[in-house]
A and B are shown apart, each in its own frame.
Chain A
Amino acid sequence: MTTPAPHFYGLGAEFSSASSLMTAAEKVRDSGFRKWDVYSPFPIHGMDAAMGFSRSRVSFFSLIGGITGLTTAFILIYYTSALNYPLIVQGKPYFALEPSMPVFFELTVLLTAFGTIIGLLLLTLMPRLHHPVFNWDRFKRVSDDGFFIVLEAADPRFEKGASRRFLEELGGSHITEIFQDAEPQPHPARAEAQGHA
């Protein structure tokens, strides 16, 4: 293991299509890399398996949200209608399940949605203002039609020369060193990226 300069983030490579990206991802997975990622303009069906991911845990947060919502609704209705100020309205019971159902349902849905969005933000570490990959000019195409793999220098298997060769073997092009901070050298790539649009 080499010790790269502290501001060095990793090596990025561009791929020509979703299918070549997926083939490459499978090989990176099989080589045992842990700190790496695949970037694409849209979610690619089967990429989770190609990267060796297990199921997303967002649903856990949704469940917590849903349970909280239902509990809140129950406590809210029961406390206000039957405990704190019981009031006979139209001869109906203070508390009954039937008229409580709509509010039970709505608050369950509402807090499930909150749970889901909180879970998503926590698991994807969003929002964040910056990320080293944004220092790579070609990376702007990720939200257009670019497909990328970035191997992080922090991975124990990372070794600058060998990893570069590995990305080349996988069929990656425009292999670029990505840095943590602002770009250390002026960019010929910038003109290229703009010429693309």
Chain B
Amino acid sequence: MRADNPASQAAFLRASEYLDRKPLVSGKRSLAWITDHVCRIVEQPAPVWWWVATILTGALAALTPAMLTYLVATGVGVWGLNAPVAWAWDITNFVFWIGIGHAGTLISAILFLTRQKWRTSINRSAEAMTIFAVICAGIFPAFHVGRIWFAWWLFPIPNANAIWQNFRSPLLWDVFAVSTYFTVSLIFWYLGLIPDLASLRDRAKTRLRQMAYGLLSLGWRGSNRQWTHYEKAYLILAGISTPLVLSVHSVVSFDFATSIVPGWHTTIFPPYFVAGAIFGGFAMVLTLLIPFRELYGLHDLVTDKHIDNMCKITLLTGSLVGYAYAMEFFIAWYSGNPYELYAFINRATGPYWWAYWAMITCNVVAPQLFWFKTCRQNPWVVLAIVMFPNTGMWFERFVIIVTSIHRDFLPSSWGYFSPTWVDITLFIGTIGLFVFLFLLFVRFLPMITMFEVKNVTPEADPHHENGHETHGHPSPSPAARAHA
């Protein structure tokens, strides 16, 4: 291909420099450096900011049980919801939190199956975020049932009424979807942690740490007889988590889409909800990772390239969400259904217009800044921009839920929902709980998947050393065939 004249050679060199992939771990770091740099976060005394942040968010997190206790002791009427708006902040917060989790599973499962190696340094913290987000999510529907002491009726356990759960209802599908999602995410996360817990065990200086990490790492010793099964198990879990993550938000959207409420009864909901979930989730991953990368000096592991990639996904999914908003409006008009059209015009111009336009600004307009490389390259600008999707995705759920039901078919059953102080305090409490759990996670568990990061360094390639490929394709020997 290359022409011999110097001009085209120079052009070729420029092009190849441009196309050259940036290394996933910058600064040519050694394997020991990776172990040391990640384990140090857990091993060294906690910095002052960690104590301040943990105590502060811990105090906020305490608002969650406080508000829930007040709710149970007094009655569900302490929330602002009432006919016709029977689903309000509780379900908004539920969908908001469960959506956040989706980026974690996307990074850990879908990017794994598509061999996106850059996922390795962000998947651990994203998966942790998933688990904490699902914990926050689960609180709301559980208490929304009103009489929490009957929440076990959600599960198919024989009870004194002798009737069973209604398997034809999407609300019951949701119980199965969310509990499966939580359990499988937890298993997947723990599986990924095992080899790294072994690193912490092997470096432990105190008996307590040795015992704790030793028990948690289940006796892992990095033997290839373990790795071979481990990799297979990881692949299978990634394989089943991929349709799982797509199913969870689809099932959540069925809660709305299978009803006959104008504004909810739309077939676009499942893909639209999934795109929105990934969008909001990536925004939250960036929100958490940018400060922690700065505070712990992880620039060589979570590189600018990682942030750039995540910004691009945010841009893509944000635009998908924008398309869904436009399409919803178009179909509302094109369907010829006056109630449907009214629901949408009411969203944009009715009493909740401010929520609708906050949603459009935050989710559709703000991410467009990521078209510009300068915006994607400054982490602080990125952090400022992703605050918009973080807010906007909450507004999206609020708009979908509250504006669709606050004006029923008959004007006699129209209403306006306003949150009470309990609604607001409980939501702040779950934000505190989420950040508090994340702070505990970075303190006690390795926040970067060391063994996977090591695996994408040049040293991990068995053909790396000496530059020549002496054993490119190890042929199974007769002895090996006999084993098989």
Tell whether A and B belong to one assembly: yes
Q: Is the CB of B227 within 8 A of A103?
A: no
Of residues 451 through 484 on chain B, the ones whose CB sits less than 8 Å from some CB of chain A are 451-452, 454-455, 459-466, 470-471, 473-477, 479-481, 483-484
List the one stretch of A1-9, A108-116, A161-169, A183-191 in contact with chain B: A108-116
Q: Is the CB of B474 within 8 A of A46?
A: yes
B420: A residues at CB distance < 8 A: none
A37: B residues at CB distance < 8 A: 223-225
Q: Is the CB of B230 within 8 A of A124?
A: yes
B36: A residues at CB distance < 8 A: 197
Tell me which of B195, B196, B462, B483 contacts A18 (CB under 8 A).
B462
B409: A residues at CB distance < 8 A: none
Of residues 231 through 277 on chain B, the ones whose CB sits less than 8 Å from some CB of chain A are 231-233, 236-237, 240, 243-244, 247, 251, 254
Q: Is the CB of B236 within 8 A of A112?
A: yes
Query: How close is A186's CB to chain B, nearest CB, in angstroms?
Result: 20
B180 at the interface (CB under 8 A from A): yes
Q: Is the CB of B156 within 8 A of A80?
A: yes
Tell me which of A42, A89, A110 contacts B166 (CB under 8 A).
A89
Q: Is the CB of B233 within 8 A of A81?
A: no
Q: Is the CB of B228 within 8 A of A56?
A: yes
Tell me which of B156, B198, B232, B475 contacts A56 (CB under 8 A).
B232
Tell me if B's interface is mostly helix, strand, loop or mixed.
Answer: helix
* Known interface pairs A30-B479, A42-B460, A144-B31; A113-B232 also in contact (CB < 8 Å): no
- Pairs A-B, 8 closest by C-beta atoms: A52-B480, A145-B31, A127-B218, A80-B164, A56-B232, A128-B219, A143-B199, A102-B173
Task: Give me 10 A-to-B residue pairs in the complex whose CB atoms sit less than 8 angstroms apart, sorted by A's number.
Answer: A18-B460, A22-B474, A40-B222, A42-B454, A50-B471, A100-B167, A113-B188, A117-B191, A124-B230, A141-B202
Interface residues of B (CB under 8 A from A): 30-32, 35-36, 156, 162-170, 172-173, 176-177, 180, 183-184, 187-188, 191, 195-196, 198-199, 201-203, 214-215, 218-233, 236-237, 240, 243-244, 247, 251, 254, 450-452, 454-455, 459-466, 470-471, 473-477, 479-481, 483-484
Interface residues of A (CB under 8 A from B): 17-23, 25-26, 29-30, 32, 34, 37-59, 62, 76-77, 80-81, 84-85, 87, 89-90, 92, 96, 99-100, 102-103, 105-107, 109-110, 112-114, 116-117, 119-121, 123-124, 126-131, 133-134, 139-145, 197
